[in-house]
Amino acid sequence: MAELILVRHGQAMSHATDEAGYDRLSPLGVQQAEWLGAHFAQTNPHFDHVLTGTLRRQTGTAQAMGYAISDQDPRLDELSYFALARAIEAEHGLPAPADATQFARYLPQVIAHWAEGDLQNVPETFEQFTTRITSLIDEASHLPGRILIVTSGGVIGMALRHALGLDIPGLSKVMLQVMNSSLHRLEHVHDMLMLGTFNATPHLDTPERAHARTFI
């Protein structure tokens, strides 16, 4: 049985307006990762493999947790959110949201248009994104032992869609709920992927760390 522990990166530069500006951890993001690493150190620190994407916020999270990276795989990189946002505004007149409430309505529309093939000027199609995530998860499911995968919210959402057979609205809801530095456990057992844990933040659950429970 393979056990996959997927971790979303710590908080990045949430006020950035492009991919490059977003792709580094905020001071709080580093702290979130350090707290998660300390949690693993006190509970079950061993991983047989440590995988990340190539993005700075992903590798920085693994390093702040205290883990050496076994492999960086670009299939674990996040979807191109800013490119999708530009495309949906240019092609469908949907402007970027101004607050969290608007974003909760906005993201499902973006994902729905993308999944339906209605966004043209984007770096990858929804089908290409789906294939790269599911292929990596299937490969990791056949690695021996316990695998740490440090990645991003959209990737985790797609991995859970793969395990649970979620429809597009369900995928969007999962993506909206994935917290910074949260952990998610998948097990490959009985020749299938099973969800064991979703969106756990044991390292942030004490009252003095409530301020560190972030989504963006």
132-172, pLDDT tens digit by residue?
A: 999 999 999 999 899 999 999 999 999 999 999 999 999 99
pLDDT, average across residues 89-117: 94
This prediction's pTM: 0.96
- CA 200 to chain CA centroid, Å, is 13
Task: Tell me the three state secondary structure of residue 98.
Answer: coil
User: What pLDDT does residue 191 have?
Assistant: 86
Residue 131, C-beta contacts closer than 8 angstroms, at least 6 positions apart:
none
Q: How far apart are CA 24 and CA 6, in angstroms?
A: 19
Res 1 pLDDT > 80? no
Q: Which residue has the higher pLDDT, 101 or 107?
A: 107
Percentage of the chain beyond pLDDT 90 is 90
User: What pLDDT does residue 104 have?
Assistant: 92
46-64 exposure pattern, b = at least 16 Cβ within 10 A, e = fewer: ebebbbbbebebbbbbbbb
Task: Please state which CATH class domain 2-77+145-153+178-206 belongs to.
Answer: alpha beta
pLDDT, average across residues 39-52: 97
User: What pLDDT does residue 165 have?
Assistant: 97
User: What pLDDT does residue 112 have?
Assistant: 97
190-204 exposure pattern, b = at least 16 Cβ within 10 A, e = fewer: eeebeeeebebbebb
Phi and psi torsions of 88, nearest 5°: -70, -30
13-24 exposure pattern, b = at least 16 Cβ within 10 A, e = fewer: eeeeeeeeebbe
Q: What is the mean pLDDT of the chain?
A: 96
User: What pLDDT does residue 18 have?
Assistant: 86
Q: Which residue has the higher pLDDT, 121 or 128?
A: 128
Which helix (DSSP H) or strand (DSSP E) does residue 154 occupy? helix 153-164
* Residue ranges in 11-152 assigned as alpha helix (H): 19-22, 27-42, 56-65, 81-92, 100-115, 126-140
